[in-house]
Amino acid sequence: MRFRLLALDADGTTLDDSAAVRPAVRGAVRDAGDRGVHVVLCTGRRYRTSLPILQELGIESGAAVLQNGVLVKDVRSGETLHHRYLSREVYPEVLDVMRGVGAPLVYVDHHHEGLDFVTEAPERAHPFQGEYVGRNQRVCRVVDSLDPAPSDALVMMSCLADELSLRALESEIATALGTRIRTNFLVNKNYRGHILEAVSAGSGKWPALVQLAAGMGIEPAEILAIGDDTNDAEMLAGAGLGVAMANAVPQALAAADHVTASNSEDGVARAIERFLL
């Protein structure tokens, strides 16, 4: 079967360990696009931090799946095409549990206003999160309290901390909220520590990608997906061909049909050359 859509994770997949796009990967992605393959970046990143990657890959139009599938945005304009916001009804309960580790970050869909997330004073959070807030002050608003919800366009709630604290928090959220919420536990590739996200139950890279592809007349079997982390596993399992990086976590490796080289060994380029070019 000819794959018509290439779904690419960013960190740990398209980007190497220095957060750069290697020349071979850049060339292979552009070659795939030149052959008529729709290339869709599917990442946990925000639109703002995804733009440099999209530009380097030569993706100048179409859509991107962002913030682990909560948002699908137009690449060129930043307009939100689809969203699965966190409901205001569940927000207070999530906030109450997540405060057990410290004041969380509340991401909002207000890119065009220069705002990406809202939080309380950094000293109320884990030191790892304080570092993150310090490096993102330009797109952050610090408030006295996160209660009530700061927006109707709630993307997610997130905590940065050590792995042990976040694993315990993940269990507490599951007990308190069950299937009314979805969590993403991620290795933090650009800052210290780990990340725990609380997002709407219907979100995820794969549901967002399926919806986007359907609007393009593309079936799941016509999708080639490449990723490395737990938030990619569902996408790798559902795609017509799921490719895990050699540096992938066990969940992604188990979900994939094929394993390519690592992100420091041009694994994305090798997969594209083998299955698309």
DSSP H helices in the chain: 23-34, 47-56, 91-98, 127-135, 163-177, 205-215, 233-238, 250-255, 267-275
Report the pLDDT averaged over residues 250-256.
97
Cα(224)–Cα(62) distance, integer angstroms: 17
N- to C-terminal Cα distance for the chain? 13
pLDDT in tens, 200-231: 999 999 999 999 999 999 999 999 999 999 99
Cα(204)–Cα(65) distance, integer angstroms: 9
Where are any strands of DSSP class E within 178-236?
181-187, 194-200, 223-227
Number of domains in the chain: 2
Full residue range of the structural domain in which residue 220 is found? 5-83+204-275
Q: Is the domain of 173 the same as that of 232?
A: no
**CATH number, position 108:** 3.30.1240.10
Q: Which domain-ending residue is among 151, 177, 200?
A: 200
Q: How confident is the model at residue 189 (pLDDT cuts 50, 70, 90)?
A: confident
Q: Which domain-ending residue is among 168, 200, 232?
A: 200
Q: How confident is the model at residue 64 (pLDDT cuts 50, 70, 90)?
A: very high
Q: Is the domain of 195 the same as that of 95?
A: yes
pLDDT in tens, 110-137: 999 999 999 999 899 999 999 999 999 9
Report the pLDDT averaged over residues 84-96.
97
Instruction: Give the pLDDT confidence score for residue 259 in this predicted structure.
Output: 98
Q: Which domain-ending residue is among 183, 200, 217?
A: 200
Q: Is the domain of 136 the same as that of 109?
A: yes
Structural contact between residues 98 and 173, judged by C-beta atoms closer than 8 angstroms = yes
| pTM, full prediction | 0.95
